[in-house]
Amino acid sequence: MLRCLFFLLFVAANQAFVARERREAQDIPAPTLIRVTLVDDPSLAFKVDWTPVSTPEGSEPVVGYKLKVWEQEKIKTYKYELVNGVKTLVEEYAPAKFPNPDQIPTHKPRDILVYGADKTTAQVDGIEAGVTYEARVLAFNKNGDGPLSGPVRIEVSPKDHDRQKDVYTVA
């Protein structure tokens, strides 16, 4: 009987500790994305800046940020074209639609970790012109992740990429 009582107290104490950790991670506010800048040296990339966040007094401090970047998925489509007078089935890849900005994309993002509560910039390398990206950022501490920021959608137009350094925000 004593073992059973000890076991129940042990489980209850562990559950309280886990609940406390989850609560403190939820005390982290969401950062706000403030700027996206195109970088074209030596390869195509963009930088994302956000506002710093801090936790309430008594909570674990922010350790850093996670920038999450989703690339717009492509779906395979088929259409018929006339090639040398012959009707031919041609395979194409068309961009899939991103979900509503209130919804988080379901496919796996690229995560970029930034350590330090005062570091509020990250660079996303290896992007392609003509592809749409969605970026969101969250702050984290030793207890877990805070909520994601609102999204920003970025597309670098293939023709504009060569003549000017603009980033086009879609949403």
Encode the chain (171 residues) as per-residue pLDDT tens digits.
Answer: 555 555 555 555 555 444 444 444 678 999 999 999 988 877 889 999 999 999 888 889 999 999 999 988 777 788 888 888 888 888 877 766 766 777 888 889 999 999 999 999 999 999 988 888 999 999 999 999 999 999 998 888 776 545 444 444 444
Contact 46, 38 (CB under 8 A): yes
Domain limits for position 25: 2-169
As a whole number of angstroms, the distance between CA 135 and CA 101 comes to: 11
Supply the pTM of this predicted model: 0.69
pLDDT of residue 22: 44
- Other beta carbons less than 10 A from residue 72's beta carbon: 17
Provide the number of structural domains found in the chain: 1
CATH code of 130's domain: 2.60.40.10
Q: List C-alpha distances in Å: 129 to 18, 49, 98.
A: 44, 20, 17
As a whole number of angstroms, the distance between CA 110 and CA 144 comes to: 18
Cα 63 to the center of its chain, rounded Å? 18
Contact 143, 126 (CB under 8 A): no
pLDDT of residue 23: 44
Q: Which of 77, 171, 75, 168 is nearest to 127 (CA)?
A: 168
Residue-wise pLDDT for 41-50, tens only, equals 778 899 999 9
As a whole number of angstroms, the distance between CA 109 and CA 113 comes to: 12
**Residue 49, beta-bridge partner list:** 35, 121
